[in-house]
């Protein structure tokens, strides 16, 4: 089964555990093939002022064939 990872960042309601999801230009949540790939993208694209400690990596269930 292939891994799938999503990235959430910047809490928008910490009391309720809500974060913004990394999305593409069409508004779809970006899915990475590994946690390492997701971390690499975040480190390369992180904007000034964003706290890397606020980034959450979420492993998604694998897709069925």
In angstroms, what CA-CA distances link 56 with 1, 25, 28, 41, 65? 22, 20, 17, 13, 27
The 10s digit of each residue's pLDDT in 12-64 is 876 777 888 989 999 999 999 999 999 998 888 776 566 777 789 999 987 76
Q: What is the pTM of this model?
A: 0.75
Q: What is the pLDDT of residue 30?
A: 94
CA distance 5 to 61: 9
CA distance 53 to 56: 8
């Amino acid at each position: 089964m292939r891994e799938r990872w999503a990235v959430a960042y910047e809490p928008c309601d910490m009391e309720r555990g809500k974060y913004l999801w990394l999305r593409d230009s069409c508004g779809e949540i970006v899915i990475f093939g590994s946690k390492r790939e997701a971390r690499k993208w975040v480190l390369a694209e992180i904007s000034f002022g964003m706290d890397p400690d606020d980034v959450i990596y979420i492993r998604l269930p694998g897709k069925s064939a």
